[in-house]
Amino acid sequence: MATLLWTMLCSKVTVDQRTNTVSLIDVIEEITISGQVSFVAPTQGIAMMQSLGGSPVPAEMSLSPGVALPAGAQPIPKNSVILPFEMDVVVAAARSHEGTPETTTGKLSLIFPDQTTVAFESAFDLRLGEHLRARIITHIGGLPIRDAGTYYFRVAFQEEGSETWRDAGKVPFIVRFQNPGG
pLDDT at 142: 83
Residue 47 lies in a domain: no
pLDDT at 177: 84
> Quick one: how far is CA 135 from the chain centroid?
14
- Cβ contacts of 108 within 8 Å, gap of 6 or more: 89, 91, 121, 122, 123, 124, 136, 138, 153, 154, 155
The model's pLDDT over 18-38, given as tens digits with 9 standing for 90+, comes to 999 999 999 999 998 876 555
Residue 174 lies in a domain: yes
- Please tell me the total count of domains within the chain: 1
Residue 72 lies in a domain: no
Residues spanned by the domain of 107: 3-38+79-178
Residue 94 sits in a domain whose CATH number is 2.60.40.10
pLDDT at 146: 81
pTM: 0.74
Residue 103 lies in a domain: yes
Residue 144 lies in a domain: yes
Residue 169 lies in a domain: yes
pLDDT at 84: 80
pLDDT at 93: 95
The model's pLDDT over 62-94, given as tens digits with 9 standing for 90+, comes to 333 444 444 554 555 666 777 788 899 999 999
pLDDT at 74: 52
Angle at 120 between CA 115 and CA 125, to 5 degrees: 115
pLDDT at 43: 34
Residue 67 lies in a domain: no
Q: Which segments of the chain have a pLDDT < 70? A: 35-79, 117, 180-182
- Report how far residue 12's alpha carbon sits from residue 59's, in angstroms, rounded to the nearest whole number: 25
**Cβ(179)–Cβ(21) below 8 Å:** no
